[in-house]
Amino acid sequence: MNIGRWKSPAALCGLMTAALLLVQAALMGAGLSHISGAGEAMALSALFALVYGGAMLAYARMAKPGAGEMLFVGVFAAVAMLARTAMLDFETADYVSFLSKWTQMFREGGFALLAQNVGDYNLLYQYILLLIAKIPLFDLYLIKWVTVIFDYVLAASMLLAARYYAGDRAGKAAFLLVLALPTVLLDGACWGQCDPVYVSMIVLSLYFLETDRPMPSAVLLSFSFAFKLQTIFFFPVVLLGLLQRRFKLRHALVFFAAYIVTMIPALAAGRPFIDALSVYANQSMGQYYDRLSYNAPNLYLFFPMLEFASSQEFTWMRYIPGIDAKGTNEYLTEALMPALQHAALYACVILTLIAVIYWLIHYREITPDMTLELALFFAIFLPFVMPKIHERYFFMADMLSVLYAAKRSDRRFIPLLVVGASLMSYIPYLTRQRPLDERWLALMMFAALVIVTRDLLAGMRRNRAALAAEAMKGGAC
């Protein structure tokens, strides 16, 4: 049977979705703590099965697989879904201290509560929490369900992007790889975070930019920014696109218009326009004053942290002869750490300006086919030099490194460095264990940054030589 035609894959997808629905419902009923009966188990299973079925239909339409391939991908994706639903009961401090309380606030306050700032996420996520509060299922399961939706959206986005860079086989491999990547599994289904949401939009935005469709690229980038501030790691690519005229003024206006649209429900609830517009400004003020890095594999793992103020174990001082590794650090205090953070922030701004200005000065040497390299550079560089960065902020770099490996067969080790460092940086938060010195993770990420930078500069040198040769040829004529 060839399922390249539309009706055949739909039937096969329906059969696999029904099988997953039943198996999943049985496992949920038997294994999840907050399921009170068969009806709830079936309802929750239906939500996740719906995500799976939609992803399989999307894969069938995009990849045009044969029957055997469709069956293999379907089974693979179903196992990936079962792995996700097996982690639904896992509660982190983020959920206990924040998400559960915010959801309860929306449960009690309803739509009118959008006039206030509930939590420190932007408005799109607050709308999601409001909807979750109205559904009679355990809120943690639904929070994770939202991210799982975008796990599969991300996989489909990566299929499109990898296929653009390296062909059909690479696209199909990227689809499967993303569903199985440990950082993707842990971020949403285990941790209850939402990084796949905004990164899936960024990958699609990059794909549309590369395929000369700047309008949907701008809209998706706006929605991504409305969801997560870390979208700014992609903004240098937008600046390059403006200089190369791949983006024009009208696309910038579309970006701002789409962002304003995301504010409409909050404005309708009575929230002042300036207040709705300044969520990120409020979000970044007055938080996190005890460390320079929150498990992120970046530069600041080589600096002292307040939580280890009574020990020299994680500072360079332990290498000084005569210093007791467990001795008290009487200089590192709560008053000093904010000053260190501010100094690191100023240094980060200077480094970022140097990098951005350098690339913009030489933008003619960065051809459109180098857009992915530039995007990956900034996705690693910015969280590497920024203080107060969390481990999950390298999630965009994880995905772009996979695309880079697809594009360049001689760089297939890059995701091992980037994703490997990201994965191990999750362990301290999720398990409260530090299985290895995290500075090794920072060195892994730094190695990836050096290699990507070298590749980018090498491509620029080649383009510079080509431009010079073209200028000489034109002068001779």
Q: Average pLDDT for residues 435-445, to the nearest whole number?
A: 89
For position 312, what pLDDT does the model report? 43
Contact 88, 32 (CB under 8 A): yes
Contact 35, 41 (CB under 8 A): yes
Please give the distance of CA 16 from its chain centroid, rounded to a whole number.
29
| Tokens read off for 174 | 């990227």
Q: What pLDDT band is residue 155 in, cutting at 50, 70 and 90?
A: very high
Quickly tell me which residue has 């796990």 as its tokens: 151
Cα→Cα distances 72→17, 75, 273, 444, Å: 14, 5, 50, 34
Q: Angle at which helices 38-63 and 168-180 pack, to 10 degrees?
A: 160
Q: How far apart are CA 119 and CA 123, in angstroms?
A: 10
CA angle 324, 430, 48 (to 5 degrees): 170
Q: Average pLDDT for residues 49-58, to the nearest whole number?
A: 97
| Listed ranges 2-11, 56-65, 319-328; the one with the highest mean pLDDT | 56-65
Q: What pLDDT band is residue 466 in, cutting at 50, 70 and 90?
A: confident
One-letter amino acid for residue 401 of the chain: S
**Which H helix or E strand runs over 53?**
helix 38-63
| Res. 322: pLDDT tops 90 | no
- Give residues with Cβ within 8 angstroms of 333, minimum separation 6: 309
Q: What are the φ and ψ backbone dihedral angles of 293, each rounded to 5 degrees?
A: -140, 135
Quick: pLDDT tens for 163-183. 999 999 999 999 999 999 999
For position 359, what pLDDT does the model report? 87
DSSP for 425-467, please give it: HHHHHHHS---S-THHHHHHHHHHHHHHHHHHHHHHHHHHHHH
Q: How far apart are CA 418 and CA 183, in angstroms?
A: 11
CA angle 358, 379, 456 (to 5 degrees): 45
Q: Which residue has the higher pLDDT, 321 or 364?
A: 364
For position 288, what pLDDT does the model report? 58
| Tokens read off for 186 | 């842990």
| Res. 76: pLDDT tops 60 | yes
| Res. 323: pLDDT tops 70 | no
Quick: pLDDT tens for 408-420. 999 999 999 999 9
Q: Average pLDDT for residues 131-135, to the nearest whole number?
A: 95
Give SS3 for 389.
strand
| Res. 57: pLDDT tops 50 | yes
* Rg over CA atoms, the chain: 24
For position 326, what pLDDT does the model report? 54
- Lowest-confidence range among 248-257, 339-348, 350-359? 339-348
| Res. 353: pLDDT tops 60 | yes
Q: What are the φ and ψ backbone dihedral angles of 129, each rounded to 5 degrees?
A: -65, -35
| Res. 265: pLDDT tops 90 | yes
Contact 267, 213 (CB under 8 A): no
Q: Angle at which helices 214-227 and 195-210 pack, to 10 degrees?
A: 160
Neighbours of 33 (CB within 10 A): 9
For position 308, what pLDDT does the model report? 45
Quickly tell me which residue has 């696209």 as its tokens: 171
Q: How far apart are CA 382 and CA 14, in angstroms?
A: 43
One-letter amino acid for residue 11 of the chain: A
Q: How far apart are CA 182 and CA 422, in angstroms?
A: 10
The pTM of this model reads 0.91
Cα→Cα distances 414→67, 201, 389, 419, Å: 33, 22, 21, 8
| Tokens read off for 164 | 């653009």
| Res. 96: pLDDT tops 70 | yes
Give SS3 for 260.
helix
For position 5, what pLDDT does the model report? 46
Q: Average pLDDT for residues 230-257, to the nearest whole number?
A: 94
Q: How far apart are CA 328 and CA 325, in angstroms?
A: 9
Contact 259, 226 (CB under 8 A): yes
Q: Average pLDDT for residues 144-171, to the nearest whole number?
A: 97
Burial of 350 (0-12, 13-18, 19+ CB in 10 A): exposed
Q: Which DSSP symbol is given to 248?
A: -
Quick: pLDDT tens for 360-397. 888 889 999 999 999 999 999 999 999 988 999 999 99
